[in-house]
Amino acid sequence: MSFTIGGDFIPPEKRNKHSDQETKQKKSGRPVKVRKERRGNSWVTKVLNLDLSEENLVDLATRLKRSCACGGTIKEGVIEIQGEKEEELKKLLRDQGIKAQ
């Protein structure tokens, strides 16, 4: 159970979403991987093996795009970020509590 500093109960639907992401990620058997790939003359960095709900995946992708100041998308459960952002994404994922290789 979660309570506020004043002692009020916080229902499960009002609790922090990010703790749910960390819990789900720890249950996953596959490691999260960050890979870059060539697309014509440009690069795309992919975040693979994220076992998150669609809502949490969209939320994470939005935060990553804003932090990297670039565009991106989600295709078949894989976050794709424009540009060579491999090390930057690994650091941002670690800050979110997600181990990435």
pLDDT in tens, 37-73: 998 999 999 999 998 999 999 999 999 999 999 999 9
Tell me what pLDDT residue 23 has. 47
Rounded-to-5 percentages of helix, strand, coil across the chain: 40, 30, 35
Q: Are 89 and 83 in contact (CB under 8 A)?
A: no
- Mean pLDDT across 84-99: 92
**Average per-residue pLDDT in the chain?**
82
Q: Which amino acid is at 32?
A: V
Kindly list the domain boundaries of the chain, sorted by start residue.
Answer: 32-101
Position with higher pLDDT, 3 vs 31 = 31
Class assignment of domain 32-101?
alpha beta
Q: Are 73 and 34 in contact (CB under 8 A)?
A: no
Residue with tokens 């890979």: 35
Tell me what pLDDT residue 56 has. 93
- 13 pLDDT more than 80: no
- pTM, to two decimals: 0.70
